Each structure stands twice: as structure tokens, then as C-alpha cells.
Structure 1
Amino acid sequence: YFPEPQPAERISMPIHNHPGSDYVKKHFNEPLGRYETYYIAEAYEGANTWMGFKDDADLEEWERECYRSDNIVPIEKWKDYIANHVSNEGDLYLIPPGTVHGHGGNQMVLEMDTCPSIAGTEYSFFEYDFARKTWNDKEQTMSGRPMKMHLEHAFDNEKWRREPYVKEHLRAGRHVTEWNKEYSRDEYDTLPEMPFTVERLHFYNRAVNDTKMKFMHLVTLTVGTKVRIVSKSDPTKFTTLNRLQSAIIPASFGEYEIINDDGGNSTLVQLRWKEGV
């Protein structure tokens, strides 16, 4: 969060995309690509996300500019190519493979995706990082060489999705799927190629959830101070989540309660696999 306005080149992530399962299998002998979402847990003044190309952007020119720059020479008019979207709390961006994107700053992003680690199995193909310096361990300053890009893979993988497609298909809407006096559940729109869906539980004291013995849940408390997740069949099995902490609920956990002992508005965001075990 930057209380004073800052240049996008300082606070934005690199402009990049991710590969799908077919691509990583072919090129890296990996079984699972990266299918990503951005959930906006908090939005501050100027919250925004870069995603897709502007409708009038010359895509061949963008590729030439990236190769010419190689992230050493700044691309002065990069904003003429990349579309920008205002973010609000609760927004969900769907990021299927090959979609150019980057976190734009002044927002707390909950990234939910199929990447099991940030090291050996994380595949991000960078197109442009604003030719900015990196951390220099020796000097202990931001004076290091700009990051290397992955231009061959990035453009081989690029789907060239434009701003209207992003607005229609990747800015996910949501609808209520369950409501009672204790809690409500809503579910975000998805795409066929995304292997998981995103849901939310809203409650004051208590909500109920169920893996149905086949769905792994990945849950994060985005609103509220603290909750307990308790097995209904065996209350000795439980865990506690503080705000913005996450937990993996195995498919074998079955039905469980989410309890806010102190009361207060709470929201639990959940990633759920579409196909269970």
C-alpha cells in the first residue's frame, strides 16, 4: 500500500503469462500447468490490475517492442498496449493460461492457483518488467541488473486476449447458491479450462461446509478476526485461522463447522476442485 501516488512502473508486477498443462508437459515434462485467479481481499485508493491487451493495441508491435527492450531499454508507451482494470474488494479475476496480466498495486491479492510451490514448479513467462533495477546483495541496494525475461516462451504461449474478452469472460460475476439464517454461500463464475471453482461463505457466528469425502478445500479467512474449523464427526479434529491465514481441508475431513466464537461479520474464501477424488 502506498498512501501517496506512485508510478505504475514501481508498484506493478511484471507483465507476464502462465502456461497450461499441455505446454509444461511438452517443454518441461511437468504434469500440471498454472491456472490462476486473483481474489481482491482488500482494495485501497487506486487499486488496479493489468490484464489483456487494449482493443486497439498493435500486438505484433508489442512483441517487437519487448524483444527490442529485452527489459533493458524502457518501453516508453507500454500503457498503450496493456489494458488496466479498477479493482474493488471481492473482485475475482480469472487468469487462464496464456493471459497477459500483472498485479497493478494498492490492493491485497489472494492468489489461488494450481501452483504447488513458488520454486521448482512455478512457471511464469515474463514479457516486460519496466527495465527496473533488482536487489543487489553485495551493495544492499536496488542497483542490480534488470530481471531476465522469458520472451520465447511468453510469446509462444500468449493467447492475445483483448480487453473486451477480459471484461466479458475473466472478470468473474457471482451468484448466491445457499442462504439461511446462519450463513450464505456464493459462487463465482468460471471457465471450462479452470480446474477449480471459487466460493465464499459469509456468516456471523457459524457456517457449515462439507468436502463430501471427495473435494479438497483450500480456505482463507478474508473478513473477520479468528475462526475455528471443527470436524462435525470428531470435534477433537480442528484448526484455527486468524485473518488472512489459509488452511487445506483434505477431502477425507467430511462435514465441518466454521465457528466465530467472538461473533462478527466473517468471510471464508474457498478454492474447490471441480472434480473430486
Structure 2
Amino acid sequence: MGWRKKTSLYLQFGNTRIETPAINAVLKYPLELLGELVFSRFGAELPIRFDFLDTMGGENLSLQVHPDKEYIKKQFGMDYTQEESYYLLDAEDEAVVYLGLKDGVEAADLLAALRQAENGDAPFDADRFMHTHKAKKHDHFLIPSGTVHCSGAGSMVLEVSLSAYIFTFKLWDWGRLGLDGKPRPVHIHHGEKVINWNRSEKWVRENLVNHFELLEETDLHTKERTGLYGTEQIVTERDWFTDYVDYDNSEKTVNMLNLVAGEKVVVESIDNTFEPFEVHYVETFVIPAQIEKFRIRNIGNSEKVAILRARIQ
């Protein structure tokens, strides 16, 4: 679960299974699922999305940028924009993430090169303009709006984002063609208006790359805050543990989680609110706002497991 437009619920009634769009559960039980804070801010929308971006043995994804809140409100009437982060589930030896501009890049030069590429005059020289960061398993890259970025070839990314997914402005698609044989469309006319030109190498390294904060550490459990830039609304935490972790959701907000390391876990109610269920490696699951306490227990063959948890701040 995580992308409401493409996710289904399967309901079993005896021998009959019914499929319905997952958004119907949100519309039916918005407060129980989302909580009062999230519902008041986003309405009956599940605002957190987990996606897989798989470029293992493949190519770079399109170079892109997301609009800031002012631009998306003015141009499209949306109250929130797409803020995201890349959590690396796996990476080949040469994998990189394109994130931010190289120091000294001039806006006029970058935009001229993008327009030349769009017109087919010359390929866009990404290595001249874009800063690349070596990517390895369990790295976490924050991507606030206005930051030019893309996932490079040779990686498996868990993308954590707000769900305003239709407002991605593509700048360059590496010369790839669409099914019609023509270059895939890009959106430079929008993108040039929202690029944050201050997101250069040093700033990105200091603010967006593996910005981990240790919250708790024992012999059996380590809790870290792995992602939250100042303008973003999603906070992510990672729990590494050998046995189990008890989670406090007393703020009564929707939680989206993924088993990012380890074979399998079981999710249990501490107060018998719901039946336990198993989660396997890289499966995503949702804990509704009405569940104030829950436990996740390591039940597989892995000595240690890791859970990535995302919530709205």
C-alpha cells in the first residue's frame, strides 16, 4: 500500500473475494485511519506513498524537480507539493544518486543545455551540471522541493513521498524515445521556475545525505531519525533490532512502514486491538491512527531486522 490510485483492497466473504480501490477505505474511515491532524491537513487522502524505483541492471531515471508550495498552489490549486526521499534497499558497486547542482553552475547555462537537449540539438551533459553521490545499501537521501534529482542506474530505491505525485517536472530523459518514436516530453517551462539554485554540492552534503540522528541505542535495539528536512512534512525513523520493538503512536496518526532488512517479522497488538500478521522483506504495511501501541517482533532467520517508519509531522 502507498499509492492510492493503484492500490487495491481484497475482501474475503466466504469463498468470494472482492477487489476494491484502497481509497475507499480512506473515504469510509478517514479519522480512524488517518487521525485528526492528518485529516484536517489533507482531507480524506492517504498522504504518504512508498514506491519502488528499480534500476538494477537498467538505466538512470529521468532528471526532474518538484515545485515548491507557492508554485503548486498558484499554478495547480494544490495545497501541498511532492516532498520525497530515496532509501537505498540495494545498490550495485557503481550506483549513484543525482542530487543537487555542481558548485558554480549558472542558471542560464543549465537551462540553455536543457533546451538544446529538448530540441534534439545535443544530449544534455549531466556530468557537467549535476552532482552525483555514491549510493550504497541503507543510505537515505532527502529531496525537498526545488532540488534537481534522479535515481541513477544500478539501484533499488524505496521512495518515500507525499502523494501529490502528478506534479513532477521532468527536465531530461537521457534521450529515450516514447512508443511513438519521439523523445519523451519534458517540462522545462515549469521546471525552470522552481529550481532552487542554492542546492549545490556542499549544501546538499550537509543537509540531505545520510542526515541520521541517533535517538536510542541498546545492545538489542538502535533507533535513528533518518529523514526530515526543515520544509518537509514526513519524518522517517529506522529501528534495527534483534528481538522486538514496542511502538508508541499516542499522537494518533497514520503510520506507513517497510521491512527494509531481515527475512520476516510479525506485527502484534499490545492490547489485543487487532490480529497479528506477518510481514516479509521489503513489504509495506499501514498502522491506522486509532492503534496507539503495537509491537514488531523478529520471527525469521535473520539475526537483526530493520523497519523504516514514516509519519506526518
Q: Which residue number corresponds to residue 28 of structure 1?
A: 76
1:128-207 correspondence to structure 2 within 5 Å: 128-135=172-179, 144-160=181-197, 161-188=199-226, 190-207=228-245
The alignment status of 1:124 with 2:184, answered yes or no, reads no
Find the counterpart in structure 1 of residue 136 from structure 2: 88
Quote the offset at 1:182 in angstroms: 3.7
The answer to whether structure 1 residue 222 and structure 2 residue 270 are counterparts is no
- Once the 2 structures are TM-superposed, how far is the Cα of residue 91 of structure 1 from its aligned partner? 1.2
- For residue 181 of structure 1, report the CA deviation from its aligned partner: 4.4
- Contact 2:252 2:291 survives alignment (8 Å): no
- Decide whether the 8 Å contact of 2:227 with 2:237 is kept in 1: no
**Does structure 1 residue 266 correspond to structure 2 residue 293?**
no
Question: Is 71-80 or 47-56 further displaced after alignment?
Answer: 71-80
Is 1:40–2:88 an aligned residue pair?
yes
Distance in 2, Cα, partners of 1:58 & 1:230: 54
CA offsets, 1:37-93, max 9 Å, x none?
011111221111001111133331110121222163442533111111101212111
Which structure 1 segments of 5+ residues have no match? Answer: 3-9, 137-143
How many residues align? The count is 256
Residue in 2 that maps onto 1:257: 295
TM-score by length of 1: 0.86
CA distance in 2, matches of 1:240, 1:73: 53
Corresponding residue SS for 2:290: helix
Identical aligned residues as a percent = 23
Given candidates 108, 119, 123, the residue that maps to 1:75 is 123
Report the Cα offset of residue 14 of structure 1.
Answer: 1.1
- When the two chains are superposed, the root-mean-square deviation of aligned CA atoms in Å is 1.9
2:236 & 2:290 partners in 1: Cα distance? 20
Q: Is the 8 A contact 2:88 2:136 kept in 1?
A: yes
User: Do 1:71 and 1:130's aligned partners in 2 also have CA atoms closer than 8 Å?
Assistant: no
Q: 1:238 to 1:25 in 2, by over 3 A?
A: farther
Residue type at the aligned position of 1:151: I
Which residue is 1:59 aligned to?
107
Task: Write the distance in 1 (CA, Å) between the matches of 2:201 and 2:217.
Answer: 34
Q: In the TM superposition, what are the counterparts of 1:228-239 in structure 2 within 5 Å?
A: 228-234=266-272, 236-239=274-277
Q: State the 1:263 CA deviation.
A: 4.7
Structure 1 SS opposite 2:137: coil
CA distance in 2, matches of 1:241, 1:85: 31
Equivalent-residue separation in structure 2 for 1:127 and 1:82 (angstroms): 12
Q: TM-score, normalised by structure 2?
A: 0.77
Superposed displacement of residue 189, structure 1: 5.1
Contact 1:71 1:128 in 2 (8 A): no
> SS in structure 2 opposite 1:69?
helix
Cα distance in 2 between the residues matched to 1:154 and 1:263: 47
Question: For residues 174-212 of structure 1, what are the alpha-carbon distances to aligned partners after superposition, in whole Å with 9 as ceiling and x for unaligned?
Answer: 132123344221112532101121111111221111211
